[in-house]
Amino acid sequence: MSLGRALAVGLVGLSAEIVEVEAHLGKGVPALFLVGLPDAALGEARERVRGALEACGLELPKQRTVVNLSPADLRKNGSGFDLAIAVALMCAENADGAWRARRAVHIGELGLDGRVRPVRGVLPMVVAAVAAGHRDVVVSAANEREAALVPGAHVHAIEHLSEILRVYGVEVGEGIEWEPLALPDQLGSTESTEDLADVIGQPEARRALEVAAAGGHHLLMMGPPGAGKTMLARRLPTLLPDLSDPDAVQVTSIHSIAGRFAPDGGLIRRPPFEAPHHTASRAAIVGGGSGVPMPGSVSIAHRGVLFLDEAPEFPAAVLETLRQPLEGGEIHLHRATASARYPARFQMILAANPCPCGGAKCRCAPMDVRRYRTKLSGPLVDRVDIRIHVPRVTRAMRALDERHEGSIAVAARVAEARARAAARFAELPWSVNGDAPGSWLRRALVGEVRAPLERAVDEGRLSMRGVDRVLRVAWSIADLRGDDALTIGAVGEALSLRGGEGDA
C-alpha cells in the first residue's frame, strides 16, 4: 500500500480550516472513493481530477484508491479541493518531491484540460493557512494577486496541473499545451467617485448624513421621487473613515467569497456601499444558496452602508430577517446541508416615497398609503435613529444655495466626532453613539436637557424608545460640536432630525 498527502483549505462562512487530503492506494478492484463528507461538487471532483490527470499524460492509479479528507466533521464544499486531491493521488506513487506536497497548501479547481481555475474565498483561505503555519500556498494564476495580499504567504501560482506535478517530481507527459487562463473580470473599484459637493441644496439632508456618519446611525429618508434620496445615500460612505486593518481583511474576505472582489487595488479599505433591489431574492439579500450558504448583501455591506431604496417595496419577510444582523452584527444561515455565519454590521439607509405612487398628484387610496407606511414601522424602523423628509429642490432653493461643501471637509469633522465618541466609550463594548444602549443613555441623562425630554414624554409627544433615539443623535451632534456634554441645543436639533414621523 502507498500513501500520498497534500494540504487544502476548507471554508465554512468566514472560518477556514486546514484540510488534509490523503490518498491510500491498496489492493482491490481499481476504483476511486472520496470520503470525508463530500458534497455534490466534491463528487464531481473525481471526474475533473481524472480528466486533468489524463491531460498531463497520467492516469488514476490502477488500484483501489481511497481519498480521505479530514477532519471528517468539517463541512467541505466547492471545487477548491481538486488540486490537492490530484497532487495527493500522484504523490502517492513515491514522487521525489512528495514531502513538499505534504507541507504546501493547494487551492484550486481543475478543468478537464488540466488547467487550474480560480476559486472564491482565496483570501480567507490563505489567511488561515499562514496562521496555521503553512506559508507555501499553491493557487491558480488567476488567484495569485489575491493570495499575495496575505502577509507572510509564499505564493506559487500555476496555470496548469502539470506545472506543480513537475515541481513535486512527478513525470508528466511531454509537450503539454494549454490556452492561457482568462483573467478574472475587472469588477471596478469599490472606491466611490461620488462627492457630497455634487448635492445642490438640501442642507437638512446633508446635515442628517453628517450626523448619521458621526454616530453610525441608521437613517430613513422620506420624500418624493427625484428629491435626491438615492444621490444622498450613495454619498454616505464618502463621509466614513477608512476601515481598520482587521476590518479590511474581514470585509475583503467576505467580498472574495461572494465573488465580488478584484484584488488589483489591494485590500478593500473603504466602507462598502451595497444597494440590493427590492426584487432581489432573499438569498441575495441576506445570504444563502445551495451547499454552504454564500454571503448576501447584508454581509457585503459589512462595515459599510446597506441602502434599501424604496424600502416599503421589500417583502416583509426580508425586512424581518434584517433584525438579526441589526441586533447582533452577524447573520446565521441555517440550511439542511450546511450552516454558516457571516458578519453583517452595517449602517442602514432606508428611502421611501410618501405613498405607493410617489406622491406628486397622489391618487392612492388612504388604505394603500397606510399599508405602505406601516411597512416602515415596527422593530426594523425602531432601530433607525434619524428620520428626515427630503423635499424636491426648487429653483429658489438652488439659487439660495452657495455652499457646496465637499465630502473631504465633512469627513474630517466626522472623524473628529468619532474619535471623541470612541474616547468616551473607551471602557465600554461599543464605540459609536448609534450602538449605545438605552441604559447607558438614560444614566447619562443629567442637567439641563432632562426637563424638556421629560416634558415631551409626559405630554405623549415622545416614547421612551423615542427618548433613547433622540439622546443617541444628540450625542453625535455634541461630538460634532466638540462638546463633552449634551446641551439643549443638541437635543433640540436631535428632535428635529426625527422628521415628525410620529413617535414610533
Ligand X SMILES: Nc1ncnc2c1ncn2[C@@H]1O[C@H](COP(=O)(O)OP(=O)(O)O)[C@@H](O)[C@H]1O
Q: Under the rule (CB under 6 A), what is the footprint of ligand X?
A: 199-202, 223, 225-231, 393
Beta carbon nearer to ligand X, 228 or 295: 228
What angle (nearest 5°) sits at the alpha carbon of residue 45, between those of residues 43 and 48? 135
Select from Mg ion, ligand X, Zn ion, none the partner in contact with residue 299, using the beta carbon and a kind-dependent cut-off of 5 to 8 Å.
none
Beta carbon nearer to Zn ion, 267 or 355: 355
What count of Cα atoms within 13 Å lies in the side-chain half-sphere of residue 344?
28
Select from Mg ion, ligand X, Zn ion, none the partner in contact with residue 228, using the beta carbon and a kind-dependent cut-off of 5 to 8 Å.
ligand X
Tell me how far, at minimum, the Cβ of 353 lies from Zn ion, in Å.
8
Beta carbon nearer to ligand X, 391 or 438: 391
Q: How many CB atoms are closer than 10 A to CB 31?
A: 11
Beta carbon nearer to Zn ion, 37 or 364: 364
Select from ligand X, Zn ion, Mg ion, none the partner in contact with residue 362, using the beta carbon and a kind-dependent cut-off of 5 to 8 Å.
Zn ion
Which pairs from 247-250 meet CB under 8 Å and 24+ separation? 247/303, 249/123, 249/127, 250/14, 250/302, 250/303, 250/343
Select from Mg ion, ligand X, Zn ion, none the partner in contact with residue 275, using the beta carbon and a kind-dependent cut-off of 5 to 8 Å.
none
Task: Tell me the C-alpha distance between 494 and 503, whole Å.
Answer: 13
List beta partners, residue 65: 25, 32
Beta carbon nearer to Mg ion, 230 or 290: 230
C-alpha cell at 320: 424581518
Beta carbon nearer to Zn ion, 275 or 357: 357
Cis-peptide, bond into residue 71, ω within 30° of zero: yes
Task: Tell me the C-alpha distance between 41 and 80, whole Å.
Answer: 9
Beta carbon nearer to ligand X, 184 or 224: 224
Tell me how far, at minimum, the Cβ of 227 lies from ligand X, in Å.
4
Beta carbon nearer to Mg ion, 81 or 307: 307
Tell me how far, at minimum, the Cβ of 397 lies from Mg ion, in Å.
19
Of all residues in the shown chain, the one whose CB is closest to ligand X is: 228
Tell me how far, at minimum, the Cβ of 390 lies from Zn ion, in Å.
17
Select from Zn ion, Mg ion, ligand X, none the partner in contact with residue 355, using the beta carbon and a kind-dependent cut-off of 5 to 8 Å.
Zn ion
Residues that bind Mg ion (CB under 5 A): 230
Q: How far is CA 69 from the centre of its chain?
A: 29
| Residue 157 host element (H or E) | strand 154-158
Select from ligand X, Zn ion, Mg ion, none the partner in contact with residue 364, using the beta carbon and a kind-dependent cut-off of 5 to 8 Å.
Zn ion
Tell me how far, at minimum, the Cβ of 133 lies from ligand X, in Å.
51
Residues that bind Zn ion (CB under 5 A): 355, 357, 362, 364
Tell me how far, at minimum, the Cβ of 353 lies from Mg ion, in Å.
9
Give the residue from 338, 340, 332 showing the smallest Cα distance to 38: 338
Contact status, residue 257 vs residue 290, Cβ threshold 8 Å: no
By DSSP bridging, strand 273-274 and strand 305-308 are parallel
| Residue 15 host element (H or E) | strand 15-26
Tell me how far, at minimum, the Cβ of 206 lies from ligand X, in Å.
9
In this structure, what are the phi and psi dihedrals at residue 306, rounded to the nearest 5 degrees?
-105, 115
SS3 call for 106: strand
Beta carbon nearer to ligand X, 231 or 362: 231
Select from ligand X, Zn ion, Mg ion, none the partner in contact with residue 270, using the beta carbon and a kind-dependent cut-off of 5 to 8 Å.
none
Angle of helix 464-481 relative to helix 203-215, nearest 10 degrees? 90
Tell me how far, at minimum, the Cβ of 483 lies from Zn ion, in Å.
42
Task: Tell me the C-alpha distance between 48 and 325, whole Å.
Answer: 38
Tell me how far, at minimum, the Cβ of 199 lies from Mg ion, in Å.
13
Select from ligand X, Mg ion, Zn ion, none the partner in contact with residue 201, using the beta carbon and a kind-dependent cut-off of 5 to 8 Å.
ligand X
